[in-house]
Amino acid sequence: MASSKRLIVGLGNPGAEYEQTRHNVGFMAVDVLAEKAKITLSPDRGPALAGSGRYRGRPLSLVKPLTYMNRSGSAVRHHMKKLGLSSRDVLVLYDDLNLEPGVIRIRQKGSSGGHNGMQDIIDVLGSDDIPRVRIGIGSNFSRGRQVDYVLSAFQDDEMEVMEPAIKNAGEASLLFIREGIVAAMNRFNKKK
């Protein structure tokens, strides 16, 4: 039986130089959630920025791993163990090059789709049975420039599209907390 506790993990890279980059939309979505749920994130073992509270009476923990994107799994495992959660009680938020900017897609489980942060979580946990919200950032880069693209900041006009997507990722997370992953999928996995 699933726990009533939920852990929401946003993926990104630590440091001011990465704050507004495409690769950090998972961090941005967790920041939106923290504000809405009035949860303060502070340094925690893992290593991560983490905080706990309640949302509509349900226990909620938020985590932003500080291990850099490609090593996110250890921080996720640490907080799952600390909270006594299974992978089904976790929701991971991260960027996706395969989705148009502003589109979000929610999945119950599956492959990493080539995302190194999600792949590390799958590898460390030994399972791909992990709910996730993929936030589209598009793939507007020339061959061999993927790293530069994901580590570059959004332009102002791009943020007009991304801000609603980041808000929707937060809203989907809140629905996951209240009603579960299927309800979140049914509401937010609409064709654009």
Give Cα separations from 66 to 48, 62, 73, 100 (angstroms).
5, 13, 11, 27
Q: Which residue has the tokens 């890279």?
A: 13
Catalytic residue among 23, 78, 79, 115: 23
- List for the chain the helix, strand, coil content (%; round to 5): 45, 20, 35
Give Cα separations from 49 to 8, 13, 46, 97 (angstroms).
12, 12, 9, 25
Strands 90-96 and 6-10: parallel
Determine contact, residues 114/135, Cβ cutoff 8 Å.
Answer: no
Strands 6-10 and 104-107: unpaired
Q: Could you give the 3-state DSSP secondary structure of residue 12?
A: coil
Strands 42-44 and 90-96: unpaired
Q: Is 23 marked active-site?
A: yes
Query: What residues are annotated to the active site?
Result: 23
